[in-house]
Amino acid sequence: MILEILSVGLIISACLALFLDEAVYSVAALAGTFLFTALLYVLNGAVFVAIFQFAVGVGTLAILFLSGEMLSDKPTKKTSLKSTAALIGVGVVLSLPAIFISVSGVASSGADVTFGDALWNLNGLDVVLQGLVILMVAVGTAIVLYQKRSGGK
Amino acid sequence: MVSIDIFAWLVWIIPLVSCLFVPLISKFGNKARNYFVIAISTLTAGLALSLVPSVFFGSGQAEVSTIAWIPGISAGVFIDSLSVLFTVLVAFFGFIITIYSIGYMKGEEGLTRYYFQLLLFIGSMIGLVISDNLIQMFVFWEMVGFCSYSLVSFWYKRPESVKSGNKVFLMTRIGDISLLAAIGLLFYAFGTFSFQGIVSGIQNAAAAGTLNTGLLVTIAFLVLGGAIAKSAQLPLFTWLYSAMEAPTSISALLHAATMVKAGIYLLSRFILIFAVVPAVMVALQPLWLPTVAWIGVLTALVGATLAFTTTDIKGVLAYSTVSQLGFMMAALGAALNGLASTGWFASLFHMMSHAFFEGLGFLLAGGIIHALGTRDMRLMGGLRKAMPITFILALIMVLTTSGLPPFAAFFSKGLVISSVADVGSLVQTILLYATTMITFAYCIRFFTLVFMGKESEHLVKQHPHEAPKVMLIPAAILAGLCIVWGFAEPLLVTFMHVDISVTLLDSFLSLETPIFLALLIPTGLLVYWTYYKNNQTLRNLAASSNPIRTILNHAYFFDDFYYFVARGIARFSEGLRSVENSIINTFPQFVASSVIRVAYWVQKYLDVLADQLLNLLAIGTMKEASKIKKASSSSLQHYIAAAVLGFILIIVLIILTVGLGV
Amino acid sequence: MDFVILSIVMLSIGIYGLLTKRHLLKVFISIELIAIGATFNFVTLASAMGKGLGEAFLILAFSTDTAVSAVILALLVIVSKKYGTSDVSEILKIAEEKGETEAEI
């Protein structure tokens, strides 16, 4: 059950990442995409990769936030709520094949390493915390830049 | 004997690594960089030549040296006669072109980038032919394609160069997809990427009786797809003409001598692999080999006819390359017994001689373009007085290309045609003969237009001088090779360890030679009258706009078809975009705005209605009240009736207002 | 394995974005989505088959991807600052008016 929810969330955030008009919003949606793929990796038993994706994704998103700020100089038209709702609907429709179609293949084996183990013994926790710190810094810088641009100097 | 393993590794690692040093060394000045590049290419050529003796005196078995990387994929070199042949070709040509570039590219800007990419190309091309597994070969295949793209658009300030680079890259990329599919299928079938692993896999499967020949035929076709794109066969040959936007030294290296031969290498290697078990070749025979042969023959014909009508000096050479590659492909299609058939050897022999004469042609064309500043042959004429050495070398090139004895291509082309005649159909042989006639025709046309006759006005304006020595010496080396290479045929037979018995006299004595020479004479006379003697009627006939002319001018409409497809994709994207816009943006907005409009309308009209009703009721009540006042009969029933009526009216009013207000 | 379908859907969303989007950042995000789709495919298949080696290599692929993304973003910012707009067709139009080729952009 949780697999389906995560898949739907993944595809919805991917659709939103592309179709939202404001650059910063689409970067936020891309962050959601990274988050959902990391969670899906964990559920598939690839815990290492999930932590790595999280860390690397945070780095990418930091740069993306900053450059999203710098790339959108002209005021763009805001996406209305209704079109966002339509987008979410499109995302749900697109994710239906992923849930209902199943390709017969190799049976899955369990995870080699448990989640808690990965967090503590394999220093996953450190990576995640560092990632959060970097993310905070990036968001803060973006806010500062935004205020500098729109407010007074 | 010194272990050749180290040399085999170094021969491709050294150019690849030293290309990274070029930007560093160019900080010390242009001369230092030039010397560095020449030193590296000489070193590579020396290393390549050092591989020759052990293969020549060896037994014909391959030597493989690998370095295990991850389980399942290892990096390795595969040293057998085929790889060493190609390695020597690439390294030698790299050396020649490097020396030529010193003179040709003198004074251009961005030379550091040029030499960096040149060394990168030499390293990756050698890596391609000497790698022992498919993954490594595919990586180098892609790198060679990338080098081709970046070198074709070297002069990036010209928009045509950039567009041509894109076109070259995209068209060869299509072949890469089918090659990747073939590699995937091979891994699925045999579980390994290395050539030796695949060979033993085929042998084991054949011994166990589980050989899936259908799968192997599919793999063969996919591999053919990759070779078609990379070696400019029909229908993916138009990129070779666009690649002439590159500097001429690059055209000589990439598109005459080495990169386009990668497809030939791929097919030769795969025929070697398939020929290990005869059952495989039998399975391939009905469908795949004839396809290869037919594609080769048709490409040869198309290339030759296009070379005959183009006015671009590099275009003649480009289409000539397409045509000769068709010859090689046709010979490969006649390789029914793999190593033991003449076709395989003939295609490789012709490949070497083609490299020499086409490379020579490009080097001379570079000198001519340098001196005259134009690529249009109609502006040239009578060049033989101004550039005598170029004239002599071009004469050698023209004689070789037409396949006249005793130059190299006579032997190689004769061998190709005889191998096709042995196993192919009569139609193919006739078409190949026709192509040789047209080859002779376009060679004479090229030679006459550029060198013979009196000097054109453009020439007189430009005052051309002979090309500098540093450009002539490589050309002279190639011309010398053109002359002697044909006689090296027995040496090559021993080198390649093929089981065919071919002697030099065979070429002279076989049936092909008199037919060939007999066909050349009327063609030669016809072209001679048209161009040299400037016979007006024939020239008018050639220049008139009949349907054949139109087809040839548009390169058989292949290019137009590809541009049509590309524009269709662009328009499809635009269409998708507007569909998406309408769904995501305008449709919800439409729904929302219509809802709002309905609400507004409801508000406007029903509200007003309620207002008026209210008004009406109020006035009515007042009137009633005044009437009741006027009545003033002191009758209690009247008062009670009036009160009840008023009460009912108030109730109704309350109900109405409360109901509407909700 | 419905995850194969999932990665195909992600891939097609990314390709759709590449085909239709004009904003520079959106184009880059589409490329990222394609990369996510591809690596997702490989990682889930590798972990399903129990081969840890695939996951190790995908970590390598991730980091290479990120480094490339950083460089691409820097280039995108430079381009948008030079032309003052983030719309690909506008950039091409301005470049044509000024007579520069694509490689000079």
What percent of chain B shows pLDDT beyond 70? 86
Q: Which of residues 73-132 of A touch B (CB under 8 A)?
A: 80, 82-83, 85-87, 90
The pLDDT of residue A106 is above 80:
no
Q: Does A145 touch chain C (CB under 8 A)?
A: no
Per-residue pLDDT tens digits for B253-299 = 887 777 888 888 998 888 888 887 777 777 777 788 888 888 899 88
Q: Tell me what pLDDT residue C42 has.
A: 84
The CA distance from B494 to B198, in Å, is 26
Query: What is the model's pLDDT at position B370?
Result: 83
A118 has a pLDDT exceeding 70 = no
Cα angle B34-B37-B43, degrees, rounded to a multiple of 5: 140
> CB–CB of C40/A40 below 8 Å?
yes
- Give the gap in angstroms from C-alpha C58 to the nearest C-alpha of chain B: 14
Structure tokens at A49: 């990769």
Q: Mean pLDDT: which of B1-10, B277-286, B552-561, C7-16 is highest?
A: C7-16
* Best residue in C15, C19, C55 for a mutation probing chain B (most B CBs within 10 Å): C19
Of B162, B572, B580, the CB nearest to C101: B162
Question: What is the C-alpha separation between B150 and B153, in angstroms, rounded?
Answer: 5
Distance CA B617, CA B650 (A): 10
pLDDT for A135 equals: 66
Residues of B in contact with C102 (CB under 8 A): 159, 162
Which tokens belong to C28? 């880059």
H helices of B131-158, where? Answer: 134-152
Q: Do B185 and B215 form a contact (C-beta atoms < 8 A)? A: yes
List the single residue in A with minimal CA-CA distance to B577.
Answer: A19
pLDDT grade for A108, boundaries at 50, 70 and 90: very low
**pLDDT tens-place string over residues B583-607:** 766 666 677 777 778 777 777 777 7
Residue B547: its pLDDT value, please? 65
Looking at CA atoms only, how far is residue B198 from chain C in angstroms?
A: 23
| Domain assignments of chain A as residue spans, ordered by start | 2-150
Asked if residue B633 has pLDDT above 80, the reply is no
Q: How many CB pairs under 8 A join A and B?
A: 21
Structure confidence at residue A105 as a pLDDT band (50, 70, 90): very low
Give the 3-state secondary structure of residue B63.
strand
| Residue ranges of domains in chain B | 1-246, 560-661
What was the pLDDT predicted at B639? 67
C72 by Cβ neighbours in 10 Å (0-12 / 13-18 / 19+) ranks as middle
Domain of residue C91, CATH code: 1.10.287.3510
C20 CB within 8 Å of a chain B CB: yes
Q: Which of residues 44-63 of A touch C (CB under 8 A)?
A: 44-46, 48-49, 52-53, 56, 59-60, 63
pLDDT value of residue B536: 62
pLDDT above 70 (res B524): yes
Triad B493, B495, B497: Cα angle to 5°:
70
> Is-cis flag, bond preceding B406, omega within 30?
yes
How far off is chain B from C56, nearest CA to CA, in Å? 11
Q: Which residue has the higher pLDDT, B461 or B506?
A: B461
Helices B426-451 and B388-402: angle between axes, nearest 10 degrees: 170
Indicate which of A82, A84, A87, A88 best probes the interface with B, i.e. most B CBs within 10 Å of its own CB.
A82
Dist. CA B308–CA B549, nearest whole Å:
11
Which chain C residue has the Cα nearest residue A111? C47
Task: Kindly tell me if the per-residue pLDDT of A70 is higher than 50.
Answer: yes
With 80 as the cut, is the pLDDT of residue A92 above it? no
Chain B residues with CB-CB distance to A86 below 8 A: 583-584, 587-588
Q: How confident is the model at residue A82 (pLDDT cuts 50, 70, 90)?
A: low
Check pLDDT > 60 for residue B658: yes
Q: Residue B1 half-sphere exposure, CB side, CA atoms within 13 Å?
A: 13
Count how many domains chain C has.
1
In this predicted structure, the answer to whether residue B238 has a pLDDT above a threshold of 60 is yes
Output the pLDDT for position A110.
41
What phi and psi values does residue B75 have, to the nearest 5 degrees?
-90, 140
d(CA A38, CA B650): 69
Q: What is the pLDDT of residue A133?
A: 67
pLDDT at A74: 55
Position B51 confidence tier, pLDDT thresholds 50, 70, 90: confident
B77: left (phi over 0), alpha (psi -120 to 50) or beta: beta
Give the mean pLDDT of B12-32.
83
| Reported ipTM exceeds the 0.85 cut | no
Sign of CA dihedral B101, B105, B106, B112: negative
Looking at residue B150, its pLDDT comes to 87
Enumerate residues 97 to 116 of chain A having a beta carbon within 8 A of any beta carbon in chain C. Answer: 97-99, 101-109, 111-112
pLDDT band of residue B486 (cuts 50, 70, 90) is confident
Q: What is the pLDDT of residue A121?
A: 56
> What is the least distance, in Å, from the CA of C103 to any CA of chain A?
21
* CA atoms of B513 and C55, how far apart (whole Å): 62
- How does pLDDT run across B436-483, given as a tens digit for each residue? 888 888 888 888 888 877 777 777 777 777 778 888 888 888 888 888
Buried-exposed string A115-134: b where 16+ CB fall within 10 A, e elsewhere: eeebbeeeebeebbeebeee
* Two structure tokens written together for B640: 């009670």
**pLDDT grade, residue C17 (50/70/90)?**
confident
pLDDT of residue A111: 43
Quickly list DSSP for C27-80: HHHHHHHHHHHHHHHHHHHHHHHT-HHHHHHHHHHHHHHHHHHHHHHHHHHHHH
What is the per-residue pLDDT across B367-383, written as a single tens digit (0 to 9) for each? 888 888 777 877 777 77
The residue among B174, B187, B281, B181 whose CA lies nearest residue B237 is B174
| Cα–Cα distance for residue pair A45/A110, rounded to 1 Å | 6
Question: For chain A, where are the alpha helices, taking DSSP H only?
Answer: 2-19, 23-44, 47-71, 81-100, 115-120, 124-150
**C101 pLDDT higher than 60:** no
pLDDT surpasses 50 at A153 = no
Q: What's the average model confidence in pLDDT over C42-59?
A: 76
Chain C residues within an 8 Å CB radius of A68: 25
d(CA B321, CA B326): 8
What pLDDT score does B634 carry? 53
pLDDT of residue A104: 40
Provide mean pLDDT across the span A18-31.
Answer: 82
Please answer whether residues B378 and B467 qualify as being in contact, where contact means their C-beta atoms are separated by less than 8 angstroms.
no
Q: What is the mean predicted confidence (pLDDT) over B89-114?
A: 86
pLDDT tens digits for range B309-323: 787 888 888 888 988
The set of chains that have 3 or more CB pairs under 8 A with C is A, B
Cβ distance B69 to B335 under 8 Å?
Answer: no
Per-residue pLDDT at B16: 86
The b/e string for B74-84 (b: 16+ C-beta within 10 A; e otherwise) is bbbbbbbbbbb
pTM over 0.90: no
Q: Which residue of C has its CA nearest to B153?
A: C103
Q: Name which residue leads in pLDDT, A50 or B67.
A: A50
Residue B1 binned pLDDT confidence (cut-offs 50, 70, 90): very low
Its domain, for residue C14, covers: 2-104
CATH 3.30.310 given to domain A2-150: no
Phi and psi, residue B131, nearest 5°: -80, 155
Instruction: Please name the amino acid found at residue B486.
Output: G
Percent of chain C clearing pLDDT 70 (strictly above):
83
pLDDT level of residue C73 (50, 70, 90 thresholds): confident
Residue for token pair 């598109």: B255
Q: What is the pLDDT of residue A116?
A: 54
Rounded to 5 degrees, what angle do the CA atoms B263, B130, B253 make? 55
Q: Is B336 exposed, middle or buried (0-12, 13-18, 19+ CB in 10 A)?
A: buried
What whole-number distance in Å separates Cα of residue C103 and Cα of residue C105? 5
